[in-house]
Structure 1
Amino acid sequence: MKPHLLLTITFLLLFPLTANSNQPIDAQQYRANLLLNLSNRQLTNGQIQSALASLQESLRLYQIIGDRTGEATALFRLGDAYFTLGRYRTAINFYKQSLQLSQDFANQSIRVQILEHLSNTYINLGDEKLAKKYQEQATALKKEIGNPDREAAFLGNVGLDHDAATEYKQAIAFYSQQLTTAKANNNYQLQIDSLQNIAATYRKSGQYSQAITAYQQQLKLAQELSNNSLVILTFKQIAETYKTQGDFKAAIAFYQQQLKLTDKTQKTEVIKQLGRAYTFAKEYDKAIELYEEQLNSAKANKDNYTQGTALNNLAFVYLNSNKLDDAKAILETSIKNWTSLRLELGNTIDYAVEQSNTYRLLQQVLITQNQPEAALEVSEQSSIMAFLQLLGMRLVSEPKDNNLKIAPKAINLPTVTDIQKIAKEQKATLVKYSIIPDDGLYIWVIQSTGKITFRKVKLTPENTFNSVNSIPEIVASIPNYLGVNSQDNQGKKLVNPLLQLHQLLIKPIADLLPESPTAQVIFIPQDELWFVPFPALVDISGKYLIEKHPISTVPAIQILKLAKEQRGRTGGSKFVVVGNPTMPKIAHAINQAPQPLPQLINSEQEALAVADFFKTKALIGSQATKAAILPLLPKAKIIHLATYSILDDIKRQGIPGGIALAGENNGLLTASEILNLYNQPKGKRLRAKLAFISAGETGQGSMGNGVLSLSLALMTSGVPSVIVSQWAATDTPTSVLTTEFYRQLKQKPNKAQALQKAMLATMKQYPNPKYWSGFNLIGEIH
């Protein structure tokens, strides 16, 4: 991920506004200063359009009275405002005007800040060459000004820029300069930072011995400073580097040193990695002894979480030593352990990652035993268990003595026969994915006839056109490649991640997909694959997947059964349309001050267009409160929300996800609150045929959990189909796609085909996939 993708803007006056503060300020000067200060508050509150008006007027006044300092400040702030709107080229124009005006100012630190902001803006545009140019100018200027610590920090930032561009030699050179400067000034933290970066860059470029040398310097410094936490971290980093290099005995030695120093409460992960090093070194007995000791200790302490982790660890050893039946038996015990933990009254432990690891290992065992259909059952069971854990639910068949909600009867642990029946009922091709970190990508294709075919794909340069570490790494690069937060896509990239993902996800099964352009394909992604815009996956000839098939997704095959049942219960008559609410203030972290979400001007236009199509009134701005909207939802036929979906569990209600509505302190409709509608009397439940959340996600939550929990909460509460946007791009003209979708849906009530046609129509006007491919249909297509 590239650094500095967002500007840190301090809304204080950077420059003095009068040449001599002892002189009286005339009326125009006073008004210009007042407007400039007002614009700072407006920017802080997210009132961007008002801030632009204030800044333009203050700029006009400063030009009239000849205040070049004030003029430069106003230009600088205009650049910041347009940066916030994602209009980067306009921002650059204002920054450059401010830079030109300030070249003769006595206080040259002003220019450093402008240069830094220019560098950040060019990074967002994907022009790394110009970004580096302006960052290097800022560094050189700061060096002249003479702040050694800031100089060292700037050198590190330039190194990060080179690092992001995979220019590892240049990056290391700048990190080394940073280290030299930090040593000369006895700045230990910057020494540590530079050594961390040097070592990490050597590792990325495959120069492991040089990386270890840098880590050894870091270890020596940590020991001199008696920094125990850094010593432990460095032992871990050295061990990981040796393991990557294939020197497992050296890795074992450093993991052992890490384990000795690690606090008892933090030992679980160290034990896991030490045992894996033993396993890779084929010292299976030592790995088993270590993990059995961990298991026995967890049993004695009645620690279910660590028991499950230890069982996974043991299964890993047995799998790698080819004792497959032993591994299978242990993993089945581990599954029972996770179920027990979920049903435990008052449990607050987040065990999702380790539970998922159990199911992955069991799939790997079954595939090794040539049982792909049994592995498919396990993969689907894993998806159902993730659903239950995410929403705090239990199956109808499970014990009642806990606070868990009962899942709909349609949700159960399906057999292969159940899966085949669903595919036949849907008259669609189902494609189920499972990422197995140690074995590649598993793909099952269930055709509308019920026939099941399994394929396994390895992450090789032949499949990805270059060397990548993981599928999540490719997925994470998509928004930046498309320029989701800028007006341009990043076409200078050597490899298109959408092409890479097509090679991995689609090409290996292309012969199994339907030939008819109207035949439905339903993808069942897992984890990071939830962030894949399947419509935009592109083949080697440049043809997008949406041009070949109508597409929808579900988090589990069994959800299709639930969606079909919910379709039979729909019956609302109203159209509820919301657009660009007066955004609430939210804090994305504990102890962080709440900040207003950015306004969505295009979403307001979209809501007005959709409301006009349905001949109804849109709730806009301060009208779009939760108090106004919540009573309308049970009566709705269509729910269209042109606002943010939130990733995080902002209100700490146990379920991530929410919808941004108007109201500073009560402006979030959370997934937990939506799920509560599931238990309401009939007249208060949701009966809408479709919920469309069009503005995308914002937040720091677990990848995909926010959109998943929102979608699943809506579907569980009665809505059979949900369309969500995978990203929040403030400059996206969504009204074109959404109105075309509803027009197509009115002509033929097939949501997948309507969305396909809307995407194809939008593509003609806006070719960049960021404008049309992020919309994801989840659930029922009819």
Structure 2
Amino acid sequence: MSLHPLGTTKRSASILSLLILLIGLSPALSATILTEQVQPPSALQLAQAQDSRKVEADQLLDQGIEQYNTSQFEAAMQSWQQALNLYQELKDRLGEGNALGNLGVAYFSLGNYPKAIEVQEQSLAIARELKDRLGEGQSLGNLGNAYDALGNYPKAIEVQDQRLAIARELKDRLGEGKALGNLGNAYKALGNYPKAIELQEQSLAIAREIKDRLWEGQSLGNLGNAYYALGNYPRAIEVQEQSLAIARELKDRRGEGNALGNLGNAYYSLGNYPKAIELQEQSLAIAREIKDRQGEGNALGNLGLARFNAGQLPQAEQDLLAAIAVFESLRDRLTDSQKVSIADTQFQAYNNLQRVLIAQNKVGPALEIAERGRARAFAELLAKRTQGQETLTIQPIQMAAIQQVAREQKATLVEYANIYDEQLFIWVVKPTGEVVFRQVDFKPLQQQKTSLGNLVAAARCLGAVGCEEAMASRGSQPVAFNVAQGDRQFGKAPVTTIKNEYLQQLHKLLIAPIADLLPKDPNERVIFVPQGRMFLLPFAALQDEQGKYLIEKHTIAVSPSIQVLQLTHKQRQFSTKTGNVLLVGNPKMPSVIYKPGDPPGDLLPLPGAEQEAKAIAKLLNVPALIGAQATKVAVLKQMPQARIIHLATHGLLDDLGGVGVPGAIALAPSSSAPNDGLLTANELLDLKLKAELVVLSACDTGKGKITGDGVIGLSRSLITAGVPSVIVSLWKVPDAPTAELMTDFYRYLNQGRDKATALRQAMLDTKQKYPDPIAWAPFELIGEAE
């Protein structure tokens, strides 16, 4: 359930403007119309004209504050924009900073968080230029709120901590209280409820100490939210009722709406659905009255959930559809990274609507909503790049188009939706267009005090798949491990036994319920559309009760969503059919600094990667870039014209550019500078490629930041750059078996097999020599399978 964000800090009017009004300077004079007797204005006339515009600007600033306080956000924004224009004409930097700060608050209230961040950063820069510590603190507080609204809680905490330090330095008790409250909100969002309660109680104590009733009410609301998150619903109700009383006393409509919505959530959790519905309807009415779009979306989502549990399914469906429409309207002006971030704060409405639709046996519409709630930012970014339109907004994929994708791909599509770790929804779309729905109850997992995500981690780690202790690999220090014999131990149990236990349990949950719907011919393709931690799951290695691996029965590929698959299919028509093959193997390794202040570390050479590139080069009769030849400059020069790009080197998981897109490929440096030679995921995102296939034969290249939009990392960047098919790894791949697997892959590809079939056959060949899945199952094909 969504809880309403509270505690937005409003930048007040400039002290100078208030002083001017207090000492009673003359009102502004009317502008003088010049006649043909043009003469330069006197010094007195210039001073009077400047005073006139200054007073007007200050009055507009104050007018905007009055409008904001009565929830007239758009009117307030107009007043502050006019004030800003006048201050800029007068070169009044203090007034300009104040107007920008207040504009940022207005943009925040209207849900335009990127614009709020933009103008608050301008206000912050002016405050720092003027050494205005109070203004600096206020701008930091407002910036933190905007980051919080976008779901970027670590950044919100970082900024609010700076604001708190300034408030304490200046002995600004109100600023200190607000910083503490906003920090509490961010910690609550991260699940640290005791810390959130501690901070909110400190904030409340300050509000009562300085007798600030407005902030006291907001602090109570935030504290109630923290108690709610902790599961103490009676205490949450008690505190929220105090917040509601203060909001009504002060005629604070936004605070009243927030308190009503939060009370509704608490009553819902106690099972009192009629009371919850009543309160959410009141909250919704206020949000619409004051044009609070975020509050409207929250109220609709909470109302829909309460009605679902009350058995009012048609009404719940309409409420949740309306909530999603509001949330999606808030995404229009966001950047890609901001869309990804905010999507993680809005997923409940999509999940709950799927539940409502399935309860009404609306299988197709439920699949449409499952698609609508995932990888939308990816799809929009990909569509813009494909069609060359920066302002393109794509429509959610509909059932007929989903069925068309299955026909075009000649594949069975399997889409999963994990609903709060309580249920697993599975849709199977056959190439014929038939759609079948199955669901799995996760209550047995809950009784075992585990979850699907924990099982995925266990299959990968306890079974040695992807752990730091992996054998000699492309991305870690070599250690002794005989893959052929599988003799590494975990505790006293053989590794293979532990691994198989979890791989079999995952097969039972994910594959067994739909096994009868999957193709019987192992050459027919199955494309999985995972969610969350399932993106890290080696589907090829899932094992049935007879010990047979999934790759032995099916040809497998993966996609972040069906809509992304639809777009990669369109993208394929732009791929070059005549370009060269770019082969890179074991480049001279760069020194790497992972974190500022750390000493550089050297990446180990990979002789297997060099053998791999040379073997493929011989097979395809093309040159390979080896060692010092494989510089980042040389590789980037060839990438735009290449038909196939194969990079056998180290893969790194870190966000080395600090831009929120983790992942990098190690290439030979052109200088001795640390990190020179690293090709980052963010750099790949900006390329325009025509390759039909990129193979990242390196460690962890399929991993990244797991979000509601899929995996943010190397594969996403390459597909966005124009590549319809990408092969990546899910863990630290072993050097020697990988070299053999990749050589086999290209041999089958050169024989005319499609990409998915060639990868499957190469896996099966490698499995004969290296039976352990750690050697043959790390690679997966994302996107186009042909």
Q: The TM-score by the shorter chain falls in which range?
A: 0.5 to 0.7
- Cα distance in 1 for residues equivalent to 2:604 and 2:763: 25
The 1:592/1:405 distance shift into structure 2, 3 A limit, reads farther
Contact 2:727 2:781 in 1 (8 A): yes
Aligned to 1:631: 637
Aligned to 1:355: 346
- Cα distance in 2 for residues equivalent to 1:391 and 1:369: 34
Aligned to 2:427: 444
- Cα distance in 2 for residues equivalent to 1:273 and 1:586: 48
Instruction: Give the fraction of aligned pairs with identical amino acids, expressed as a percent.
Output: 41
Equivalent position to 1:514, from 508, 515, 519: 519
Q: Deviations over 1:26-75 (max 9, x none)?
A: xxxxxxxxxxxxxxxxxxxxxxxxxxxxxxxxxxxxxxxxxxxxxxxxxx
Moved more, 541-550 or 375-384: 375-384
> Does structure 1 residue 429 correspond to structure 2 residue 408?
no
The 1:504/1:424 distance shift into structure 2, 3 A limit, reads same
Aligned to 1:342: 331
Contact 1:572 1:688 in 2 (8 A): no
- Cα distance in 2 for residues equivalent to 1:503 and 1:556: 23
Contact 2:380 2:392 in 1 (8 A): no
Gaps of at least 5 residues in structure 2 are: 1-192, 208-219, 246-251, 470-480, 482-487
> Does structure 1 residue 333 correspond to structure 2 residue 322?
yes
Q: Secondary structure at the match of 2:705?
A: coil
Q: Deviations over 1:94-121 (max 9, x none)?
A: xxxxxxxxxxxxxxxxxxxxxxxxxxxx
CA drift at 1:631: 1.4
Contact 2:535 2:710 in 1 (8 A): no
CA drift at 1:575: 1.6
Correspondence 1:354-753 to 2 at 5 A = 354-388=345-379, 404=390, 406=392, 412-437=395-420, 439-461=422-444, 467-483=448-464, 484=466, 485-486=468-469, 487=481, 488=488, 490=490, 491=495, 493=498, 496-569=501-574, 570-583=576-589, 593=598, 596=601, 598-599=603-604, 601=606, 602-647=608-653, 649-653=655-659, 655-663=661-669, 664-678=674-688, 686-697=689-700, 701-702=705-706, 707=711, 710-729=714-733, 733-753=737-757
Contact 1:647 1:701 in 2 (8 A): no
Contact 1:583 1:596 in 2 (8 A): no
- Cα distance in 2 for residues equivalent to 1:477 and 1:761: 26
Aligned to 2:305: 316
The 1:702/1:444 distance shift into structure 2, 3 A limit, reads closer
Q: Please give the root-mean-square deviation of Cα atoms over the aligned residues, in Å.
A: 4.6
Q: Letter of the aligned partner of 2:725 in structure 1?
A: S
Q: Deviations over 1:173-201 (max 9, x none)?
A: xxxxxxxxxxxxxxxxxxxxxxxxxxxxx
- Cα distance in 2 for residues equivalent to 1:232 and 1:732: 59
Contact 2:700 2:731 in 1 (8 A): yes
Q: Letter of the aligned partner of 1:667 in structure 2?
A: G
The 1:312/1:374 distance shift into structure 2, 3 A limit, reads same
The 1:494/1:524 distance shift into structure 2, 3 A limit, reads closer
Aligned to 2:210: none
> How many residues get paired?
545
Q: Letter of the aligned partner of 2:774 in structure 1?
A: K
The 1:289/1:704 distance shift into structure 2, 3 A limit, reads closer
Q: Letter of the aligned partner of 2:625 in structure 1?
A: L
Q: Letter of the aligned partner of 1:433 in structure 2?
A: Y
Give the TM-score of the pair, scaled to structure 2. 0.60
The 1:269/1:581 distance shift into structure 2, 3 A limit, reads farther
Q: Letter of the aligned partner of 1:630 in structure 2?
A: L
Larger Rg: 1 or 2? Answer: 2
CA drift at 1:456: 1.0
CA drift at 1:476: 2.1
CA drift at 1:511: 0.7
The 1:237/1:426 distance shift into structure 2, 3 A limit, reads same
- Cα distance in 1 for residues equivalent to 2:452 and 2:230: 21
CA drift at 1:766: 1.4
Moved more, 628-637 or 563-572: 563-572
The 1:456/1:611 distance shift into structure 2, 3 A limit, reads same
Contact 2:531 2:708 in 1 (8 A): no
Q: Secondary structure at the match of 1:724?
A: strand
CA drift at 1:762: 1.0
Q: Secondary structure at the match of 2:533?
A: helix
CA drift at 1:374: 1.0
- Cα distance in 2 for residues equivalent to 1:616 and 1:555: 33
Q: Letter of the aligned partner of 2:319 in structure 1?
A: I
Give the TM-score of the pair, scaled to structure 1. 0.60
The 1:674/1:242 distance shift into structure 2, 3 A limit, reads closer
Q: Deviations over 1:107-157 (max 9, x none)?
A: xxxxxxxxxxxxxxxxxxxxxxxxxxxxxxxxxxxxxxxxxxxxxxxxxxx
Contact 1:584 1:597 in 2 (8 A): yes
Aligned to 1:283: 272
CA drift at 1:605: 4.1
Q: Letter of the aligned partner of 1:714 in structure 2?
A: L
The 1:297/1:762 distance shift into structure 2, 3 A limit, reads farther
Contact 2:727 2:779 in 1 (8 A): yes
CA drift at 1:391: 6.5
Gaps of at least 5 residues in structure 1 are: 1-211, 679-685
CA drift at 1:373: 0.8
Contact 2:737 2:766 in 1 (8 A): no
The 1:758/1:574 distance shift into structure 2, 3 A limit, reads same
- Cα distance in 2 for residues equivalent to 1:529 and 1:384: 14
CA drift at 1:572: 3.8
Q: Letter of the aligned partner of 2:331 in structure 1?
A: R
Contact 1:575 1:616 in 2 (8 A): yes
- Cα distance in 1 for residues equivalent to 2:374 and 2:552: 29
Contact 2:727 2:780 in 1 (8 A): yes
Aligned to 1:31: none
Contact 1:588 1:700 in 2 (8 A): no
Q: Letter of the aligned partner of 2:320 in structure 1?
A: L
The 1:422/1:236 distance shift into structure 2, 3 A limit, reads closer
Contact 2:579 2:642 in 1 (8 A): yes
Q: Deviations over 1:541-591 (max 9, x none)?
A: 1110000011111112233333333333322432212234455566667x6
CA drift at 1:271: 9.6
Q: Secondary structure at the match of 2:694?
A: strand
